[in-house]
Structure 1
Amino acid sequence: MLPDSLKIKIRAGYTLITQALPHFSTRKAQNYLVAEIAKVLAGEYDKSRRILVAEAGTGIGKSLAYILAALPVAQHAKKKLIISTATITLQEQLMVKDLPFFLRHSEFKFTFTLAKGRQRYCCEHKLFSTQQGTEQQALFTEKPQAGDQVLLTRLHEAYLAGKWLGDRDSWPTPIPNRVWQQIVSDKFSCKRALANHRQCPFHRARDAINKADVIVVNHALLLADLELGGGIILPEPDNCFYVLDEAHHLPKISRDFSSARASIKGSQDWLKKINQLSQHINKTIKRHTTITPGINMLESAQEIIKELKTVELFFNNNPSYFNESDKYRFALGELPETLHHPACHLKEESKKCLSALNKLSNIISEEIKDGNVKTKDVEPLMIELGFFQQRIENMQTLWVMLTREKTTKQAPIAAWAEREKAEIYLNASPIEVGGILEKIFWSQAAGIILCSATLTSLNNFEYFKRQSGLKSNDGTQYLRLKSPFNYPAIPLIIADMESDPTQAGFDDELIEKIENYLRDNEGNLVLFASYWQMNLVADKLNKKYQEALLIQGVLSRSKLIKTHKQRCDQGKTSIIFGTGGLSEGLDLPGHYLTNLIITKLPFAVPNSPVEEAHSEWIKAQGGNPFLQLSIPETSKKLIQSCGRLIRKENDTGRIIILDKRVKTKRYGKGLLDALPPFAIQFEHKH
């Protein structure tokens, strides 16, 4: 239960914060959201499962609500508060604006920090060894270039002078991958237990994370930690309350995160270098205990190379796999019999090889602790060993997925081969991640708030539940709060089109209609479903509009927005042409956008092997992928696209949809009904 003292504290915080906000107006929906977050986290609905899925329309003030409710409840329960976002923009807003504002204007005392993945930090020791001429380059995949050593020396000097803290993002210019991979922190060689790694940037950042009350992360890092069992990079899940903002991205990020990939030829090349590692170990570590794991490592590596040759031969003998495209997907995730056999062997041998590498790593760590070897002698060896551990671990993940037993209950994995130049890669990815999220997250965390402006599609949460593995009857709470904006004042015009996007005349008609609907001396945004269609229209209208026409891809996103705002501020015509990438996260309030044109319903063609596999599985189950996947996904994207127009309470303008299918197809009504209550107008011929 939520104690009265806590309710008073939350109310007092609300009063102080809202008084400090210029032009603040009280919103019922925001108050309700604050109360519900606090109740769910305090266990008022369900003590064992404190999860809330909250769709809060634009303008409610989500970040204010969740900090206000979750922070005092977390402090009362002695839990950490982790706020996870999908985009850097929102992360920066929390770190630079929202959290400092809270600290300044409320009476809550708390510390906050930004957590980044290990791969964003350099390893101090690797950085130092680049200055000592110890040659590690043989291990890395990209060839060094002129200037690399100069950059490494500059990084080294700045780090020693305390001008650079060792994270990749704070260096003023981008650090190329081939340079970064020589100094990046990795979990195998950059271990806290080793005395000369305790001051490594990642471990120092980890200390800051342990001390902070509020930790801001992104979804990918959160998943990385949970997949390792939790408590590795971030605190233990049962000691944390989580707020996942932009939560509609979570299923896709989880899917990408759980996928694996390995090259067939390239893997053989680096595996051959394991002999050098073996010699290096024998030369440096004088202990008999390394003999058995050393032999096991070499034997397994030989077996892996042998089986990879079999796989390579299979693809050489079946060139027709790549006749139609550079990707070939295995139906229902099942490898052909000829491949299944070597794949099972590869799973076993990569497991043995990894186990041997881990044993060797532990022996070396013990030798360092016991003072039997000098750290500087053994450091390059740990880096080399870490390289192989990382690669073999990834390989094992792939073969485990590719040989997983099929069950009728569980969705199969998506499996495909990909050809890039002379190399062939094998890939595997789960189709549905609900089961994974339940196991690593929903059942482990002390409390979770999932929020976003779009979590429903077709007016309900069913699609999101299916994607994320949450249920209606598992104790999870669901909440939908309408935006306070005056949507009925905004006309949504369904243009009278002769052709629909599947018909031949659509492109020509599109050019003519867009030209008709563009408004001079205003901020226009035209959203296209594909680049080629956008460029086709741009070529035709370029002459007429010239510098008023700003095209995504021609200009960088930041340059595009900056130029557009400058033109609008000068009262000039400005037209942004963009694709799906601009239908989310683009913030053009007030006069920066008053005319929004959506050329086509945002149906995504299932063009990735994972999406194709998902459709195939739904069909195999007797379902309809169009109704179960495409329509809900389109509904969500259409809501996001229309959401570009109204960003603030007083925004005005109009939306035009140039796709007649919302009027002519049976699913059209459902898509329109799920939108905010715009004033829908069907245009008729005069």
Structure 2
Amino acid sequence: MLSDKLKHAIRQAYKAIGENLTHFNPRKQQALLIAEIAKTLAGEYDNDRKIITIEAGTGTGKSLAYCLGAIPLALARDKKVCISTATVALQEQLVDKDLPFLKQYAGIDFNFTLVKGRQRYVCRQKLTQAVTSSSGDEPTQVGFTFAEKPDAKDVRTLNAMHKALLDGSWLGDIDSWENHLPTHIWQQVQSDKHSCLKNLSEHTHCPFHKARDTMDQAHVLVINHSLLLADLELGGGRILSPPEDTIYIIDEAHHLPKVTRDFSSASVTLKGSIEWLTKLRDTGDKMSALIKSRNTISSALKLGDDCQDLLLEMQKVLTFVEANANVYFLDHDLSTSGQGNNFTKKSSQDSQVYRFENGIIPQTLKNWAEDLHSLSKKLISHLNKLYNGLIEAVKDGDTQMYLAEPLLAEAGFMLQRLENLQALWFMYAKTDSDKGAPMARWLEKTHHKRQDYLISASPIEVGFTLENMLWSQCEGAVLCSATLRALNSFDHFRFQVGLKDNDGTQYQQVDSPFDYQNNAQLVVANMVNEASAPAFTDEIITKLPHYLEQGSASLVLFSSYWQMNKVAEALRANSDIDIMVQGELSRQQIIEQHKKRCDNNKVSIIFGTQSFSEGLDLPGDYLNNLIITKLPFSVPTSPVEQAQAEYVTAKGGNPFMTLSVPDTSKKLVQACGRLLRNEKDEGVITLLDKRVVTKRYGKQLLDSLPPFNRVFEK
């Protein structure tokens, strides 16, 4: 229960903000969110299920609401708050603006920190080894780290990094380095979990470990979804605080299903894997030679034997795929199912993809997968023994660190690849349950640099994974976004993330305080052609100049690059319309030039695709005319999307209505959300797709939008 003391503390914090800021306007929507979050996390609704899912429109102040609703309670109960986001922009807003604001004006004493993945930090020891200075004016020499000696510019960069790290002017993370760091430089000196170990004295003061020490002292952690999943995949509490001691706030939660699915997927190249596996025995022998103990010699021998067996099995799979390549990777009939074969053909310029229908693979391949999974597991065990033995040898002083370091990094590289092999072959070896969705399994013939075969697997549904790893383990959770509902219902999202309507989870939808009726008009254009008709693009070219005249700052959203570029090319050829087109400049350059034009009272027009419909913040006069050329339906082209549609069909459902329409509903809400960013913003949204009035799902899509003043052209 939420104690009177906590209620008072939260109210006082909210009151203090209002007293300290003259322009702060308390919002009833925000107050409601604070109360519902606090009551849920306190267990007032369900003490065993402290989870709330919130859709809060733009302008509701949800970040301040979830901070005020969660942080005082977490402090009182000695729990950590972990705020996870999908974008860097929101992370920066929280760390640079929202949390300092709360700490300064709300009277709450807490510490916070931004937690980054290990590979965002330099390894001090690697950098020191990469840069070994000689006396006088002689040039700096670069150590063993690089396969090829860097050029003079790279050496200067390394020297500058080393000096800045030692004098404290650089904290050691790539994001705070003022200049661009070339990838080939950073990859050689970044921290990795296998060689940059805190229990080795040479690495005690590495930036990553110092950052983690800071994390231990923080009450609030700001992370991204990928780091959250990385920790959960390790069992929780390995990177972040343990789930049972953590209140998770998952902002931009509509991204969580995809991030989870990506983390649960695995891919392996057959020829590429065979190549690096041939080097594994040599790695084991070199480690054993440094350790010089009977146990490690035994592990090295076992590693060599099992590696040879695994190579033989991998070669069998490669031979099998190559023998069937003429059947699997035909170039004709690219989107249909092959008769008598459990796969779907799909080709592109760079690759040919082959999805096994219903996830069913040939029994021969399944048998090999079982053996490969078992052998991968054994190799991981053998290599771990050698790895740990080498660490102990360094700690005991039996082996010098400079000799062990490259082998630890090499072994770590091998371990990561072996873990990926084990995961992939497990997904091919397991028998899918009749009660759930099958795995998506597919082959891909790649033509990048050289021909190879990529074998992949991914779960279709990840709700069960999130329930087991997160919801059932955590102290509490807040899931929020401006777009969680689809067609005015949480059902689609709830299914995606593994929540149920009767499991104790709370749901709250809070409308934006914006005056949509008076500030925004939604115009459904009178188009002659359906959006799928060949003549539709020509009609856009003809009618778009008229709609561009409705505002001084326009954003035109397209469903494809092809259509966007064709329209831009035609308008530029036939008029003096000045357009900034996505892809011709970087996103940041487009935004900067657009704002500059608007500030100088000039007309500015941006053409963009789906990626410009989310996360683009153009308040006030920076956007007053939004044109959506086509409903944002996506064609299921990826193997996972095709497998999802296939599974829905197999269950007797309609994948278009079950998957495509809800997904389009959320995307359309996101796109329309670009127009009004503040309460005083005004403008027009024009939709050039007549399907919202001609198709049976059209009304559902329109009704899921905010209550704009609708105008249907005749």
Normalised by the length of structure 1, the TM-score is 0.96
2:25 maps to 1:25: yes
Cα-to-partner distance string for 1:72-115 (whole Å, 9 max, x where unaligned) = 11111111111111111111011111111112212111111100
Alignment partner, residue 120 of structure 1: 120
Match of 1:203 in 2: 209
Local SS of the residue matching 1:480: strand
Q: 1:446 aligns to what? A: 475
Aligned to 1:80: 80
Distance across 1 between alignment mates of 2:292 and 2:144: 22
Report whether the alignment pairs 1:602 with 2:618.
no
Structure 1 residues 359 and 443: alpha-carbon distance in aligned structure 2, compared to 1, 3 A threshold: same
1:74 partner amino acid: A
Distance 1:192 1:335 in 2: 44
Aligned to 1:165: 171
1:228-243 to structure 2, matched below 5 A, reads 228-243=234-249
CA distance in structure 1 between the aligned counterparts of 2:391 and 2:150, rounded to whole angstroms: 34
Which AA in structure 1 matches 2:447?
A: E
Matched, 1:566 2:596: yes
SS at match of 1:178: helix
CA contact (8 A) 2:432 2:439 kept: no
What residue identity is the alignment partner of 1:11? R
Q: Distance in 1 between matches of 2:37 and 2:61?
A: 14
- Residue 499 in structure 1 maps to residue 522 in structure 2: no
Q: 1:22 to 1:595 in 2, by over 3 A?
A: farther
- CA distance in structure 2 between the partners assigned to 1:410 and 1:110 by the alignment: 44
Letter in 1 for 2:404: V
Query: What SS does structure 1 have at the residue aligned with 2:681?
Result: coil
- Tell me if structure 1 keeps the 8 A contact 2:551–2:625: no
The code of the aligned residue for 2:360 comes to E
1:675 & 1:595 partners in 2: Cα distance? 17
Q: What is the CA distance between 1:423 and its match in structure 2?
A: 2.2
In 2, are the aligned partners of 1:521 and 1:571 still within 8 Å (CA)?
A: no
Rounded Cα–Cα distance in structure 1 between residues aligned with 2:285 and 2:410: 12
Secondary structure of the 1:645 match is: coil
Letter in 2 for 1:296: K
> 2:316 is matched with which residue?
310
Q: 195-204 or 367-376, which moves further after superposition?
A: 367-376
User: Which secondary structure does the structure 2 equivalent of 1:655 belong to?
Assistant: strand
Task: Please state how far the C-alpha of 1:416 moved relative to its aligned partner.
Answer: 1.9
Report the Cα distance in structure 1 between the residues aligned to 2:255 and 2:575, rounded to whole angstroms.
36
Whole-Å separation in 2 of the counterparts to 1:122 and 1:366: 24
RMSD: 1.8
Mapped partners of 2:575, 2:111: distance in 1:
51
1-side partners of 2:419 and 2:168: how far apart? 35
CA drift of 1:642 comes to: 0.8
- Residue 366 (str. 1) matches residue 392 (str. 2): yes
Secondary structure of residue in 1 paired with 2:222: strand
Change (3 A) 1:21 1:587: farther
CA contact (8 A) 2:55 2:509 kept: yes
What pairs with 1:376-387 in structure 2 (closer than 5 Å)? Answer: 376-387=402-413
Report what 1:220 is aligned to: 226
Once the 2 structures are TM-superposed, how far is the Cα of residue 203 of structure 1 from its aligned partner? 1.3
Query: 1:134 deviation in Å?
Result: 5.5
Name the % identity.
51
1:679 is aligned to 2:686:
no
8 Å contact 1:136–1:384 — kept in the other structure? no
Contact 2:281 2:300 in 1 (8 A): no
2:200 pairs with one of 190, 194, 215: 194
Residue 517 of structure 1: CA displacement? 0.8
Are 1:424 and 2:453 an aligned pair?
yes
- Structure 1 residue identity aligned to 2:131: Q
Counterpart Cα distance in 1 of 2:90 and 2:239: 21
Post-superposition CA distance 1:251-305 (Å, at most 9, x none): 1111112111222111122112223313312321111011221112111221222
SS at match of 2:113: strand
Task: Verify: 1:155 aligned to 2:161, yes or no.
Answer: yes
Q: Distance in 2 between matches of 1:159 and 1:415?
A: 46
Report what 2:6 is aligned to: 6
AA partner of residue 361 (structure 1): Y
Which SS does the other structure have where 1:58 is aligned?
A: coil
AA aligned opposite 1:453: A
Cα displacement (A) at 1:464? 0.2
The within-5 A match list for 1:179-328 is: 179-320=185-326, 321-324=328-331, 325=347, 326=351, 327-328=353-354
1:177 shift after superposition: 3.3
Bigger CA drift: 53-62 or 333-342?
333-342
For this pair of structures, how many residues does the alignment match?
Answer: 680
Structure 1 position 395, deviation (Å): 1.4
| Residues 501-534 of structure 1: CA deviation (Å, up to 9, x unaligned) | 1112211111112122112661111110000000
Q: Which amino acid aligns with 1:265?
A: K
Q: Deviations over 1:367-393 (max 9, x none)?
A: 334443333332332222212111111
Q: Does 1:392 align with 2:392?
A: no
The correspondence of residues 129-140 of structure 1 with structure 2, limited to 5 A, is: 129-131=129-131, 135=144
* Local SS of the residue matching 2:82: strand
Rounded to whole Å, the distance in 2 between the matches of 1:211 and 1:589 is 37
Distance 1:227 1:645 in 2: 38
Contact 2:270 2:455 in 1 (8 A): yes
Q: Aligned partner of 1:71: which letter? A: I
**Residues in 2 aligned to 1:183 and 1:290: alpha-carbon distance in whole angstroms:** 29
- Could you say what secondary structure the match of 2:682 adopts? coil
Between the aligned partners of 1:198 and 1:128, the Cα distance in structure 2 is 14
Classify the secondary structure of the residue corresponding to 2:411.
helix
Please tell me whether residue 351 in structure 1 is matched to residue 358 in structure 2.
no
Deviates further, 391-400 or 53-62:
391-400
Letter in 1 for 2:19: Q
CA deviation profile, 1:218-271 (whole Å, cap 9, x unmatched):
111111111111111111111111111111111111111211122211112211
Give the deviation of 1:47 after TM superposition. Answer: 0.9
State whether residues 144 and 178 of structure 1, in contact with CA within 8 Å, keep that contact through their aligned partners in structure 2. Answer: no
**Structure 2 stretches lacking a partner, 5+ long:** 133-141, 332-346
Give me the whole-angstrom Cα distance separating, in 2, the residues matched to 1:333 and 1:7.
52
Following superposition, the deviation at residue 559 of structure 1 comes to: 1.0
Query: Separation in 2 of the partners of 1:574 and 1:580?
Result: 19
2:126 and 2:145 in contact (8 A); partners too: no
Relative to structure 1, the CA distance from residue 420 to residue 436 in structure 2 (aligned partners, 3 Å threshold; closer, same or farther) is: farther
| Residue of structure 2 in register with 1:57 after alignment | 57
Other structure's SS at 2:277 match: helix
**Which residue is 1:410 aligned to?**
436
Superposition pairs of residues 498-517 of structure 1, within 5 angstroms: 498-517=528-547
Paired letter, 2:565 = N
1:616 aligns with 2:646: yes
- Please say which of residues 517-526 and 577-586 is displaced more in the overlay: 517-526
How far apart are the structure 1 equivalents of 2:431 and 2:209? Answer: 39
Residue in structure 2 matching 1:470, options 499, 509, 513? 499
Q: Residue by residue, what CA displacement relative to the aligned partner does 1:606-646 show, whole Å, maximum 9, x if unpaired?
A: 11111111111111122111111000000000111111111
Cα distance between partner residues in 2 of 1:495 and 1:22:
43
1:241 alignment partner, SS class? strand
Q: Give 3-state SS (helix, strand or coil) of 2:605's partner.
A: strand
Q: Distance in 1 between matches of 2:610 and 2:540?
A: 17
Q: CA deviation at 1:117?
A: 0.8
> What is the CA-CA distance between 1:546 and the residue it aligns to?
4.8
| Contact 1:492/1:656 (8 A) holds in 2 | yes
What's the CA shift for 1:547?
Answer: 6.8
Partner of residue 137, structure 2: none
Contact kept in structure 1, 2:35 and 2:69, CA below 8 Å:
yes
Matches within 5 A, 1:657-668: 657-668=687-698
**In 1, are the aligned partners of 2:288 and 2:386 still within 8 Å (CA)?**
no
3-state DSSP class of the match of 1:548? coil
Q: CA deviation at 1:210?
A: 0.6
CA distance in 2 between counterparts of 1:457 and 1:353 reads 46
CA distance change for structure 1 residues 322 and 122 in 2, over 3 Å: closer, same or farther? farther
Change (3 A) 1:553 1:125: same
